């Protein structure tokens, strides 16, 4: 009888560990997606701000575009 009880207890513990592992995996995925969504939003806002302030001024040299980013009002960019 002791062997049978050990098997039943082992199955219950195995199922519990499987449920806890699945819960941890799903919560980690959702946490990662939230972080990535926030980062993507931040990058989109920075890109929009960049494109609102600057424009690409092309300059072709030997078939290669060696242009630069300039302000829309023509002022130079200070570092």
Which tens digits make up the pLDDT trace of 46-71? 999 999 989 888 888 888 888 888 88
Asked if residue 52 belongs to a domain, the reply is yes
- The whole-model pTM stands at 0.60
List beta partners, residue 68.
57
> What is the residue range of 14's domain?
2-71
Phi-psi region of 62 (alpha: psi -120 to 50; beta: other; left: phi over 0): left
Question: Quick one: pLDDT at residue 23?
Answer: 98
Q: Quick check: is 79 in a domain?
A: no
24 part of a folded domain? yes
Mean pLDDT computed over every residue of the chain = 86
Asked if 53 and 71 touch (Cβ cutoff 8 Å), the reply is yes
Residue 38: name the closest of 30, 50, 48 by CA.
30
The Cα–Cα gap between 29 and 37 comes to 12
Report the share of the chain in percent with pLDDT over 70.
87
């Amino acid at each position: 009888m002791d062997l049978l009880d050990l098997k039943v207890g082992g199955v219950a513990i195995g199922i519990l560990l499987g449920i806890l592992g699945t819960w941890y995996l799903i919560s980690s995925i959702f946490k990662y997606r939230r972080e990535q969504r926030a980062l993507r939003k931040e990058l989109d806002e920075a890109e929009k701000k960049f494109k609102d302030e600057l424009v690409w001024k092309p300059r072709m040299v030997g078939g290669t575009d060696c242009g630069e980013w300039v302000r829309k009002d023509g002022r130079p960019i200070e570092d």
